[in-house]
Every structure is written in C-alpha cells, then in structure tokens.
Amino acid sequence: MASIPGITLNNGITMPQLGFGVFQVPDEETTAAVSTALESGYRSIDTAAIYGNERGVGRALASSGIARDELFVTTKLWNADQGYDTTLTAFDASLDKLGLDHVDLYLIHWPTPARDLYRDTWRALEKLLADGRTRAIGVSNFQPAHLQRLLESTSVVPVVNQVELHPGLQQTALREFHARHGIVTEAWSPLAQGALLADPAITSIAAGHGRTPAQVVLRWHLQLGNVVIPKSVTPDRIRENLALFDFALTAEEMAAIAALDRGLRTGPDPDALN
Ligand code: NDP
C-alpha cells in the first residue's frame, strides 16, 4: 500500500498531502466510497456541512476499524452559519453527524465578504481549537485581501487555505501569499472535475510515463507542494488517484503544465458568493 507523505502545518501537526473529497456524493453512497478509499490507503477525508454527507463519512470511519489517531478528518462551516454563536452550534451538529469527539481540521467554507462575519467566525474557530475540539483551523476560498484582513485581527494564522486550483487555474499570487505567511495551499477540484484530462499537453506526458492524465495532474500538484483531495465514486479511480508515489515529472513536464494556466474557474468567484 502506498505511503502518503505528510505535510507539517504551521501549528506543528501533520496532514496527509493526499486526501479524499466527497463533494456531490449523496449521503447513502458516501459510506461505500469512503470505505473503498480507506481500504485503498487514504487516511484524510474532506467533507463539509453543506455536502449533506457527514453521517455517511462517519459511518465509514466507524466501521473501518482504523484508529482515530491515524485518520485526518476535515469538515467546513457553511455560509449561513457564520457568526460566533452560530458557528459553535453548527460545529456541534457536524461533530454529532460525523460521530466523532473532535475533527482534525475545521474550515470556514467561503469568506462571503458581503456578510462581513468571517472575523467573528474565526474567533469561534479559535475557541474550538483552544478547547481541543479541532486539532487545526483554516479557511477556504479566501482571496489575499480576505486573508490579509483576517491576519490583521488575529494571531492564529490559518493552517491551510483550500481553494480551487488545477492546471487551468494555478493561483500563483495566492500561493505566493500563502508561502509568505506559512499557510499550506490545499487544492479543491484538483482535476478540474475532469475538464482538463483530454488536454494534449497532459495526455502526451501521461503516455510518456505510462500513467493516466489524472495521475499526471495529481502528481503535478504534489510536486508543487499542494495538498490534494480528488473525489471519485469509482473504485478503480479511487485507487488510481493514490498511485502517485513511484514516478516523477521532469522540470520540462512541470513547465508544460504551467503553460496551461488560463484563469479557468469551474466554481464560484469567492468575492461574489454569499
Ligand atoms: P475533482 O477535481 O476531484 O474531480 C472529480 C471528478 O473527476 C468526478 O467526476 C470523478 O468522477 C472524476 N475523476 C476522479 N478521478 C478520476 C480519474 N482518475 N480519471 C478520470 N476521472 C476522474 O472535483 P471535486 O469538485 O469533487 O473536488 C475534489 C474535492 O474538493 C471535493 O470532493 C471536495 O471535498 C473539495 N471541494 C471543496 C470546495 C470548497 O469550496 N472548499 C469546492 C469543491 C470541491 P467519478 O466520481 O464518477 O469517478
């Protein structure tokens, strides 16, 4: 079974660099998908309150027989629950659905700048961290301006910012901001939901290594230092997306993928979503 490298976060804890995402997986299908992922060797699972499948994740975790301290579970606070007290209540609900007494990482799902509540929300996450109910706290979909504003009001730096990132949207400025502040970049939709897998630049690199396009894209992320959380409900793909640690892309291949950057957003604009 492949050994997944760990990334040390700015509070000293370690997170697997490769995890398993469950966005758009119905709750009743989630248990089977997460169980397949855990049997294949994934130990990090990324869910969110809004996905409606925290119970399905929890069932798979409970039946896996894997020790809690070998698992890394992330969930996220939904936009409508932003605010200090509402965050604490929403966190309790997530933990109850997951059937856990703590999570490893709790994220603010979107900044929703028009609500102007992410700093109050962050204070609630700081309390959850201090109380040991989550081992780390972070954000998702924050642009540099949102991060800057948050950093001005707190001494607790988010451990990660989970953002849309793939060869069509490489987030160079944001990644530089993260590097300056000790924030790990976590890539959501790392495969652009499949949109780039037929690109000739990627298929030709894949053919050269005897690998699939998805493996090439995920390997590119790992070599950039990103945490990745590909999603699949297909057992063969779940295993394929884990087989990334016995080949490497050359500097020329990395450069060829860098050239695919074109501002391709598949999800919402974080400045506009509320
Ligand atoms: P991904 O980029 O992971 O792509 C998933 C799609 O690609 C599915 O249709 C899947 O098909 C297909 N796929 C997976 N593996 C392969 C493969 N080896 N070959 C060909 N096709 C493949 O998209 P997601 O949007 O799901 O992003 C991943 C995770 O990121 C989410 O599940 C979620 O945890 C997180 N996320 C976070 C967001 C946020 O706002 N913080 C927003 C969006 C996602 P199939 O399942 O049919 O096999």
Is the whole model's pTM more than 0.95, yes or no? yes
With a 6 Å cutoff on the Cβ, whether 230 touches ligand 1 is yes
Q: Kindly state the average pLDDT of the residues 25-50.
A: 98
**pLDDT at res. 260:** 98
Give the type of residue at 215. Answer: Q
Q: Which of 42, 51, 106, 118 is catalytic?
A: 51
Going through the chain in order, the beta strands assigned E by DSSP cover: 6-8, 14-16, 20-21, 44-46, 72-77, 105-108, 137-140, 160-164, 184-188, 227-228
Torsion of CA 257, 166, 7, 155, to 10 degrees: 130
Q: Which atom of ligand 1 is nearest to the CA of 266?
A: 25
Domain 15-194+226-246 has CATH 2.60.120.620: no
Q: Check pLDDT > 80 for residue 183.
A: yes
What's the pLDDT band for 168 if we cut at 50, 70, 90? very high
Q: Kindly state the average pLDDT of the residues 171-176.
A: 98
User: Radius of gyration over alpha carbons of the chain, in Å?
Assistant: 18
With a 6 Å cutoff on the Cβ, whether 141 touches ligand 1 is yes
At 196-208, the pLDDT tens digits run 999 999 999 999 9
At 209-225, the pLDDT tens digits run 999 999 999 999 999 99
With a 6 Å cutoff on the Cβ, whether 188 touches ligand 1 is yes
| CB contact at 8 A, 234 and 32 | no
Mean model confidence pLDDT for the chain: 97
What's the pLDDT band for 128 if we cut at 50, 70, 90? very high
Cα 158 to Cα 23, 39, 80, 100: the distances in Å are: 22, 30, 21, 22
- Domain ranges for the chain: 15-194+226-246
Which residues touch 18 (CB under 8 Å, ≥6 apart)?
4, 5, 42, 44, 218, 222, 227, 228, 229, 230, 241, 242, 244
Q: Which atom of ligand 1 is nearest to the CA of 163?
A: 41
With a 6 Å cutoff on the Cβ, whether 217 touches ligand 1 is no
Residue 51 appears among annotated catalytic residues: yes
More confident: 140 or 2: 140
Q: Which atom of ligand 1 is nearest to the CA of 76?
A: 41
At 90-119, the pLDDT tens digits run 999 999 999 999 999 999 999 999 999 999
